[in-house]
């Protein structure tokens, strides 16, 4: 088994065990056993259990970013905040690992939450700046309102999205309608709070003009995520 293939297999197994057992209960021995490698082989790739599971979290986020970029490249309207966050919400509803990361599920992630917030602080800060820059681009193209500070809009967007993600984790069994209904509720809420709306043809043309700059922002964020994954690996 090649080194890259072996590392990918270890990450896959670690991710599965994280969902099944939670961070605190998973051991390197069990990961090695299920990945059909020696325990020492796991440590050839990652120095510590924390480094391995930070890579798992980054891998989950990277896959989400890839799907987000694919949607934007396919349809420029996906750069609108309402569609960007509702697309992520749809992914969260269908992928338990992504839901755990975005809702900080303490039962699964345990103290890995604190480690991620400490060790990935710079990457997280860049992600927040990316959202601000995204909104700035859309404001310049008349797609997002410009009657309030962009940082206030960023906070509003993240607060709305986080509220929906967390409500799903806490109250999913009492949530109204189907998952797609709830995705549309999120999109409608963000659209009302931030977007200018108007003639659909104008909106599509403006989104097409804004899309390349927005896509470039998220490509940069995805590359930084990939760099951080490589940093967690032993050289």
Number of residues that make up the chain: 235
Range of lowest pLDDT (74-88, 116-130, 221-235): 221-235
Is the pLDDT assigned to residue 72 strictly greater than 80? Answer: yes
The whole-number average pLDDT for the span 147-169 is 92
- pLDDT score of 230: 83
Q: Can you give the pLDDT at residue 3?
A: 77
> What mean pLDDT do residues 210-225 have?
96
DSSP string, 75-144: -GGGGSHHHHHHHHHHHHHH-HHHHHHHTT-HHHHTTHHHHHHHHTHHHHHHHHHHHHHHHHHHHHTTSB
Given a contact cutoff of 8 angstroms between Cβ atoms, the answer to whether 122 and 225 are in contact is no
CATH code matching the domain that covers 58-232, chosen among 1.10.357, 1.20.58, 2.60.40, 3.40.50: 1.10.357
Fold of 1-45: Arc Repressor Mutant, subunit A (1.10.10)
Lowest mean pLDDT among 31-45, 119-133, 148-162, 165-179: 165-179
The Cα 166–Cα 172 span in angstroms is 9
Closest CA to 92 of 163, 12, 165, 21: 165
pTM of the model: 0.86
Domain with CATH 1.10.10.60 in the chain: 1-45
Domain with CATH 1.10.357 in the chain: 58-232
pLDDT at 132: 97
Distance CA 176, CA 198 (A): 29
CA distance 220 to 74: 18
- 31-51 tens-digit pLDDT: 999 999 999 999 989 988 988
pLDDT on residue 1: 53
């Amino acid at each position: 088994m090649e080194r890259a293939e072996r590392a990918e297999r270890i990450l896959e197994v670690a991710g599965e065990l994280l969902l099944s057992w939670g961070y605190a209960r998973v051991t390197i021995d069990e990961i090695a056993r299920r990945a059909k490698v020696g325990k020492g082989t796991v440590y050839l790739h990652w120095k510590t259990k924390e480094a391995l599971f930070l890579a798992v979290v980054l891998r989950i986020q990277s896959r989400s970013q890839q799907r987000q970029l694919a949607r934007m490249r396919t349809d420029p309207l996906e750069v609108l905040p309402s569609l960007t966050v509702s697309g992520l919400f749809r992914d969260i509803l269908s992928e338990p690992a992504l839901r755990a990361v975005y809702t900080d599920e303490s039962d699964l992630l345990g103290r890995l939450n604190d480690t991620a917030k400490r060790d990935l602080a710079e990457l997280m800060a860049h992600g927040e700046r990316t959202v601000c820059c995204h909104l700035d681009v859309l404001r310049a193209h008349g797609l997002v309102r410009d009657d309030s500070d962009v940082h206030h809009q960023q906070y509003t967007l993240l607060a709305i999205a986080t509220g929906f993600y967390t409500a799903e984790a806490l109250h999913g069994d009492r949530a109204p309608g189907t998952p797609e209904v709830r995705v549309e509720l999120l999109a409608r809420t963000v659209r009302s709070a931030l977007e200018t709306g108007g003639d659909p043809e104008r909106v599509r043309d403006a989104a097409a003009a804004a899309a390349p700059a927005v896509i470039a922002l998220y490509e940069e964020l995805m590359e930084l995520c990939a760099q951080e994954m490589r940093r967690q690996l032993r050289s």
